[in-house]
Structure 1
Amino acid sequence: MHRSPTAEAEVTDELAVVRPGLLPRYEAELPGARAAVLSRLWRGLAHDPLPWVTRREQGRDGLTLCLSDGRRLHGPRPDPYATGAYVTVVRLDEAEYDDPARLVTDLAVPHSASFAAELGHSVASLALSRAGQEGRATDAWPGSDWEWEQRIVDGHPFHPTCRSRPGFSVAEQLAYGPEHRPVVELGLVPVRAEECLVTGVWPRELRDGERVVLPVHPWQAAHVLKRVCEERRAGHPLMALRTLALPGGPHVKTSLSARLTSSVRDISLPSVAASAVLSEFAETPAAHTDGLLHVTRTLGAAAAGSPDFAAVLREPPEAYATGGERVLPVAALATTELPRSPAWLAGFARLALTVGLRLLELGVALEAHGQNLLVILSPAGDPLRLVYRDLADIRVSPARLARHGITVPGLPARMVTDDERTLRRKLFGSLVAGALAGTAGSGPALTEALRTAVRDLPRTPDLAALRADPLPTKALTLMRLSPQTAGDQWAELPNPLA
């Protein structure tokens, strides 16, 4: 069996110093973490349009990938919608691999070395995240929104670098990772108002006379801004890690110039400039959903001349839950004790598709993955309404909106498109291949839920495309292996409705 111990050994050495009591549990979690990352990787290898895979052969005992250099990579028959660690070993010619990092190293394709390093970090960080959960009960329903978010331990359900945090030491992961339940002290940095771009209403408590006070993540302050913050304010990190809930206050999205999963988490100056206009605009399409969708308002945004030094203040989603209702990210549904029966899944899918397709018909394609999309549950656990947050990655169609008498305000050019394929990819790839698939947990469960959910939906061209075309999903493995290609790249999955 081939294995790459580098990242695992680094975490072992650091953990022995900063939290030695956690070391036995971490080592016990490593095999499961390898299988979880390998399962995500196998999904990408099986379905992404990788240029060095020349043919895919389905057999009774699984799937074989024929590589351009003549080698053959064999593994189990892939379920593109499975969220469990169902792949424990794959075989490259006659060699067996249970370690995704070592497998990618030995594939020796372009950019495999850097990707293998990310996979090694993903395995090690995932084992560390799981190690910290021992003895924590998950049957009780949390009383606050941030507690729901901190129950999400494994990260993205389909991304092979689901827990990759290069640049974070073990001590920093324990101090800042939401799954470790820390309290994080945000730095408060005063900046002269004339040096700041500010939109919306910046609150009085974050002003110091004529100066604007910017919240700064402590990792960013130490590693990027290279400054010590004398004033601090405590917050609870959410599943996005760089976004924190301030007790009794808003959610704060901070700049964090580290690569987490796939992206460097800064806040662009155009997004700060457009934040107030975009937030106000979102209220119009949301009003066309008969109360089924709420969009959290952006209260204010500010940047001190750089994406590395910026912050956005958002309304907390729990503002839209009343009378014993609970609001939680869709990604957290898998952590609940809800009886996610076929009927429950179908009802949730119907709610999500009703809202997503209605907005798409109007001309707004949501990036409705399990982090941005939240669900409001009744006291009995029934899905009632949805909440959407973080508008930075939506797509807006002027032509579609014009048909409904809605004018597009001044938005960043990357958000605006009339291309139907782009709009449908944005919604279907995030909502169906992401949030709904992650909630269902397998292809058969997703198929049953979708087939029941679509029966009574309005017959629009978008629904027809959803039912007939291959299901788009971001080609996450291809994207990590082609860093020279900007923007999203796409794969096509078997359509559960076909």
Structure 2
Amino acid sequence: MKAPSPRLAALDSTTSLPSGRATPREGALDEPERRVVRQLVEALLFEGLVSFRSAPRAPGSGFAAIYDRDFAFRLGQVPVRCVGAVSSFGRIRVAEGSIEHRAHGVWREAPLRQLVESLDVDAEARQRLLTELTQTVALCRWNRAHLAHHLRPRRGLSFQELESALHEGHPYHPSFKARAGFSLEDHRDYGPEAATCFQLQWLAVDARRVRTALPEAPERFWARELGERVYAELTTRLTDQGASWDDRALLPVHPWQLRALDGPALRQAFTERVLLPLGPAGDRYRASQSLRTLLNADRPEASHVKLPLATVCTSSPRHFRAHFVCTAPAVSEWLGAVVGEDPFLRDRAVLLREYAAALFTPSPRAQGAAAPHGAEALEGMLGVILRESVVTKLAPGEEAVPFNALTVVEADGRPFIAEWLDAHGVEAWVARLLEVMLLPLWHLLVHHGIAFEAHPQNLILLHRGGWPERLALRDFHDDTEYVADFLRRPELLPDLGRIDPYFDTVPDDDGYRMASTDDLRELFTDTAYVFNLADLSFLLERHAGF
């Protein structure tokens, strides 16, 4: 059902809007640019960044009937108009190809550059935004020219395959494929869409500059993770450089990251033997949708490897926040204890634990170790978090799909979930999905005082033949919040200050601990509803009349 936007409630149905707008035109902009333009305008309107007028739209005017309102606004001095709808939680949906600006007295489909250049923001911010958006368009164009994901339905793909084939990216954020610093070749080699496999690079790091949170002694841990043969090979490479594991720590690195970090700080670290290169080794990996989390292509049951990248995606830097790396295993153990002793959650929520972590700290952690010149450039740029694979959690007959697959439309024009809706009935399937997805998240919030960033990329649906069974959750280390006085079992909370003294001094709202339950409510509402289920609702309204 549609919820009226507060910005629309006061508008009279006779509001005067520019008349004579065209029906959809072919060929003005290509599909990638149209999509980025659409999501930019949707965000500007929904976030209230521009003032707009809106009125009901006359039926039969060229766009799908669900787009039942005309919108008009200005970007700077430029008049802009479009056709759209107000959907669940006030989300504004704009019909692709309907966005026009008025130039020299004529209404024309609005190109991306002209829209961005019309924004009333400072020049630096405008250029940064334009760079992110044009990079997004370029990578989408490459996908359409070189990949077949958009040409055939993906319903029969495995979880690992879907992590690559779900090329759509974020359905709301305009710069959903910015990947700052990535060339088209990098996109081909390291982006999830092409599913290119590659080995990790390995470093032997001065142990005084590494913080670790491993479940056992480093030698045993890495031999078990990598296999005895690979670990022995890396040991030989280390010995050949006149060093040993007595004062060295092993660290994997994304191959793109080594090239991206090439500069004075990294070169000095190599020159001074703070870092010793061991080269590529071990299994092959490929990128997941999140780009920096890698899936094992040779052993799907092996851990997922999260590595920092010196890039920006959806306007967020993808390096590690240093204080939220080695706390990851403790946070996972805490959540595991909460779920494990709760009969309601135990059979409903599956946690993909982050069970090991390590972080390179450029500043010395011991006397006698000098920091390389410009060492701050490497802060949060070299590290690793290992996470359990969902493959190891599947019960007999269960399959896993990334949650964002539920909202995409396939090459045959039908939703990814169309066959499930046909088999089980729309109303029954939706009711079951809400039970499986919402109730564990809500129970974790109201019963335990813990909120989790439940956006679609963090959720995995476990199902049998499309019938929802359980919910898997991932990425806890910087996506979890709590309010101390609201915790049901405060004694289970780990002493994070013992892991990192930062958490003994950090104020509320800067770490995991929030000051108010309103913060938890906002995180739950935004990620579970506004930017998650609202997209599913709009898909069901368009394709199933629900």
**TM-score, normalising length from structure 2?**
0.70
- Distance in 2 separating the partners of 1:49 and 1:85: 15
Say if 1:444 and 1:137 are closer, same or farther in 2 by CA, change over 3 A.
Answer: closer
Say if 1:319 and 1:57 are closer, same or farther in 2 by CA, change over 3 A.
Answer: same
- Distance in 1 separating the partners of 2:473 and 2:172: 21
**8 Å CA contact 2:45, 2:52 repeated in 1:** no
Say if 1:191 and 1:33 are closer, same or farther in 2 by CA, change over 3 A.
Answer: same
Q: 1:168 aligns with which of 173, 182, 187?
A: 182
Q: Confirm or deny that 1:364 pairs with 2:364.
A: no
Q: 2:261 aligns with which of 201, 214, 224?
A: 224
Report deviation, 1:284. Answer: 3.0
Say if 1:318 and 1:436 are closer, same or farther in 2 by CA, change over 3 A.
Answer: farther
Identical-residue share of aligned pairs (%) = 24
> Which whole-Å deviations, capped at 9, do the CAs of 1:168-225 have from their partners, x for residues lacking one?
1111100111111110221111213332100132522366433322111111110115
Q: Confirm or deny that 1:346 pairs with 2:431.
A: yes
Q: Secondary structure at the match of 1:339?
A: helix
Report deviation, 1:332. Answer: 2.4
- Distance in 2 separating the partners of 1:59 and 1:321: 48
**8 Å CA contact 1:184, 1:235 repeated in 2:** yes
Query: How many correspondences in the alignment?
Result: 417
Greater RCO structure (CA 8 Å; 6+ sep)? 1
Map 1:53-202; keep pairs closer than 5 Å. 53-60=50-57, 62-67=69-74, 71-80=78-87, 86-93=95-102, 94-110=106-122, 111-134=125-148, 137-139=152-154, 141-143=156-158, 145-201=159-215
Report deviation, 1:292. Answer: 0.5
> Which whole-Å deviations, capped at 9, do the CAs of 1:420-466 have from their partners, x for residues lacking one?
322112111111122323334448479997xxxxxxxxxxxxxxxxx
- Distance in 2 separating the partners of 1:282 and 1:127: 41
Which segment is superposed worse, 385-394 or 435-444?
Answer: 435-444
Report deviation, 1:299. Answer: 1.9
Report deviation, 1:126. Answer: 1.5
Instruction: Tell me the residue number matched to 2:325.
Output: 272
Gapped runs of 5+ residues in structure 1? 1-27, 450-498
Report deviation, 1:350. Answer: 2.6
Instruction: Tell me the residue number matched to 1:415.
Output: 512
Q: Confirm or deny that 1:214 pairs with 2:269.
A: no
Report deviation, 1:131. Answer: 2.9
- Distance in 1 separating the partners of 2:262 and 2:535: 37
- Which structure would you say has the larger Rg? 2
Say if 1:68 and 1:105 are closer, same or farther in 2 by CA, change over 3 A.
Answer: closer
**8 Å CA contact 2:192, 2:291 repeated in 1:** yes
- 2:156 aligned partner, one-letter code: W
- 1:261 aligned partner, one-letter code: T
Q: Secondary structure at the match of 1:187?
A: strand
Gapped runs of 5+ residues in structure 2? 1-26, 59-68, 236-244, 267-276, 362-378, 411-415, 497-502, 504-509
Report deviation, 1:125. Answer: 1.2
Which segment is superposed worse, 189-198 or 224-233?
Answer: 224-233
**8 Å CA contact 1:349, 1:436 repeated in 2:** no
- Distance in 1 separating the partners of 2:331 and 2:346: 21
Instruction: Tell me the residue number matched to 1:469.
Output: none
Q: Secondary structure at the match of 2:327?
A: helix
Instruction: Tell me the residue number matched to 1:318.
Output: 391
Say if 1:181 and 1:295 are closer, same or farther in 2 by CA, change over 3 A.
Answer: same
Report deviation, 1:72. Answer: 3.5
> Which whole-Å deviations, capped at 9, do the CAs of 1:293-351 have from their partners, x for residues lacking one?
01111121001113001111111112111212111210123364543434323321232
**TM-score, normalising length from structure 1?**
0.76
- Cα RMSD of the aligned pairs, angstroms, is 2.9
Report deviation, 1:140. Answer: 5.6
- 2:385 aligned partner, one-letter code: V
- Distance in 2 separating the partners of 1:408 and 1:214: 29
Say if 1:296 and 1:262 are closer, same or farther in 2 by CA, change over 3 A.
Answer: same
- 2:455 aligned partner, one-letter code: H
